[in-house]
Amino acid sequence: MRAWTLALGVLFAAALGCGTERGDKGIGDPCGDAHECRHGLCVEGVSGDEAVCTRSCGSSDECPRGWACSGVTGENVLVCSQGAPTPFGIGANE
């Protein structure tokens, strides 16, 4: 059931980005809007309190060095977050 919820969340997040221009900011760059980000996600709390660009993920191998696939958005989408993994994640990519 959790896998279906995650899959639906990722599809929802992807649908939100369809048909819109995306910016050129990379993972970890400060942002004010998802349209500024290369991967279409601007999330608070994945690298401190400030909103930064991130990406959805299925494993920490998809995240930059020092980031883990463990942050969860309000839509229950796993995203790359900086630092140690949470119980939802698989482990930091080091």
Residue ranges of domains in the chain: 2-86
**Integer Cα distance of 62 and 23 in angstroms:** 20
Helices within the chain (DSSP H only): 2-17
Give the pLDDT of residue 18.
52
Q: Is the pLDDT of residue 36 over 90?
A: yes
- pLDDT tens for each residue of 53-72: 999 999 999 999 999 998 77
Strands (E), 1-94: 41-43, 52-54, 67-72, 78-82, 92-93
Give the pLDDT of residue 23.
93
Whole-structure pTM value: 0.66
More confident position, 45 or 89: 45
State the average pLDDT for the chain: 76
DSSP letter assigned to residue 8: H
